[in-house]
Amino acid sequence: MSAPRWKKALERALDANKKSVVYSFATVDLSVQPPQPRTRTVVHRGFVEPKGASHPLLLTTTDIRAAKVHELNGDANAELAWWIEGTQEQWRLASRAYIVPHPEHAEQVKIPQALFDIADGHFWEKERERIFNSLSGHMRASWARPAPGSPIPSYDEGKKWPEKLGGLGEGKNEEEEQVIRKAFENFALVVLQPFAVDYVELGVVPNQRTKFTQAGETWKEVIVVP
Ligand SMILES: Cc1cc2nc3c(=O)[nH]c(=O)nc-3n(C[C@H](O)[C@H](O)[C@H](O)COP(=O)(O)O)c2cc1C
């Protein structure tokens, strides 16, 4: 099975707009009444296709202690909204969302067997390590801070935290290596498995909008009013 048409179009847009790597990522917070939508900005870290080209997954990253992880834990869906300015396209991807944590945290996180039951049982942990090591030292240091969202007495508190961290095995001494390992423990992948895609093209006149919906192994495509 080949890649769905929406994925080829999205990749084309991203290839032409290398800086358009940021999207809004929405979850639903069920811990309050009425349930509250939550959105934040995250960085696209690429596609993976462990189950073949017809099942493209998107990756972003997070801190295992972040609020979005609690909002995704359980049977949760998420949605992302992506504005690609260069090609004047809006992409909205309704997705199943899964967290890939450090094995230490695996108990806390519901891992879907269908997605994770692939030939290479270490695929996801290797992917988590590859991405952790590929990110900037500033980013890696962010996972060595206290839990995101926890109160601190003043902004000066931040001066105590490491500014940059090397990748795994790159610590200058055992103490720094321990901090890197701690950051790696807090680091998690967010895996998005789209099931409905709403694609709006404002760069063409008349404007175009297409809805793609997953139907088993294939995708249904409907042209709709923008
Ligand atoms: C440009 C930009 C990119 C960001 N990328 C990420 C990211 O990839 N992953 C992430 O967890 N937070 C990222 N953040 C921070 C989030 O927007 C958010 O503040 C943080 O993750 C806490 O969100 P939460 O409490 O809803 O989990 C980014 C923020 C900005 C401004």
Per-residue pLDDT band for 119 (boundaries 50, 70, 90) equals low
The verdict on whether omega for the bond into residue 146 sits within 30 degrees of 0, i.e. cis, is: no
- 94 and 212 in contact (C-beta within 8 Å)? no
Residue to mutate (ligand 1; options 32, 39, 41; most atoms within 8 A of CB): 41
In the reported structure, the alpha carbon of residue 68 is separated from the centroid of ligand 1 by a whole-number distance in angstroms of: 9
Q: What pLDDT does 18 receive?
A: 95
What ligand 1 atom has the least distance to the C-alpha of 40? 17
Distance CA 57, CA 43 (A): 14
| CA nearest to 37, candidates 74, 71, 61, 73 | 71
In order of 34, 59, 101, 136, 203, the CA distances from 189 in angstroms are: 28, 7, 7, 16, 33
Residue 118 has pLDDT above 80, yes or no: no
In order of 1, 131, 144, 186, 189, the CA distances from 179 in angstroms are: 43, 17, 7, 11, 19
Tell whether pTM > 0.75. Answer: yes
Q: Does the Cβ of 27 fall within 6 Å of ligand 1? A: no
Looking at the structure of the chain, the number of domains it has is: 1
What ligand 1 atom has the least distance to the C-alpha of 69? 27
Task: Output the six-digit token pair for 126.
Answer: 């290797």
Distance CA 91, CA 80 (A): 8
User: What domain range is 185 assigned to?
Assistant: 5-224
In the reported structure, the alpha carbon of residue 55 is separated from the centroid of ligand 1 by a whole-number distance in angstroms of: 26
Distance CA 123, CA 121 (A): 6
What ligand 1 atom has the least distance to the C-alpha of 39? 26
Q: What pLDDT does 116 receive?
A: 60
Q: How many CB atoms lie within 10 A of CB 117?
A: 11
- 62 and 42 in contact (C-beta within 8 Å)? yes
Q: Does the Cβ of 42 fall within 6 Å of ligand 1? A: yes
Per-residue pLDDT band for 33 (boundaries 50, 70, 90) equals very high
CATH code, 25? 2.30.110.10
β-sheet bridge partners, residue 225: none
Task: Output the six-digit token pair for 104.
Answer: 């230490």
Q: Which pLDDT tens digit goes with each residue over 59-78?
A: 999 999 999 999 987 678 99
Q: Does the Cβ of 206 fall within 6 Å of ligand 1? A: no
Residue to mutate (ligand 1; options 22, 40, 73; most atoms within 8 A of CB): 40
Maximal CA-CA distance, the chain: 61
Per-residue pLDDT, averaged over 146-173, amounts to 96
Pairing verdict, β 187-201 and 89-100: antiparallel
